[in-house]
Amino acid sequence: MRNSAAALAIVVGALAAGCGRETADAPQVSREQGTDPATARVNAGQMLYEKRELEASVLEFRAALELKPDFAPAQRGLGFALGDLGRTHEAAVCLRAVVASDPSDQKALLELIEVLALAEQARKRNGDEAAALADQLLARTPKPDIDSLFACAAAYGQAGQWQRAVDLTNDAYAQLQAAGDQPRADEAHRRLMMFMTKQPLRREE
Grouping H, G, I as helix, E, B as strand and the rest as coil, residue 27 is coil
pLDDT of residue 23: 35
Sign of CA dihedral 149, 150, 155, 161: positive
183-190 mean pLDDT: 96
CATH number of 1-102: 1.25.40.10
Average pLDDT rounded to a whole number, residues 176-196? 96
The CATH code of domain 108-205 reads: 1.25.40
Each residue's pLDDT tens digit, 78-110? 999 998 888 888 999 999 988 888 888 888 999
Contacts for 183 with CB less than 8 Å, ≥ 6 apart: none
The closest of 159, 156, 160, 158 to 171, measured between CA atoms, is: 156
Q: Which of 94, 95, 151, 97 is nearest to 127 (CA)?
A: 151
User: What percentage of the chain has pLDDT greater than the value 70?
Assistant: 82
Spatial CA neighbour of 78 closest among 152, 69, 124, 145: 69
The DSSP annotation for 115-173 comes to HHHH-SSGGG--HHHHHHHHHHHHHT-SS--HHHHHHHHHHHHHTT-HHHHHHHHHHHH
Angle between helices 106-118 and 146-158 (to 10 degrees): 30
Longest dimension (CA), the chain: 58
Per-chain mean pLDDT for the chain: 82
Q: Where in the chain is the domain with CATH 1.25.40.10?
A: 1-102
Q: What is the rounded average pLDDT of the residues 135-139?
A: 93
* Cα–Cα distance, 149 to 142 (Å, whole number): 12
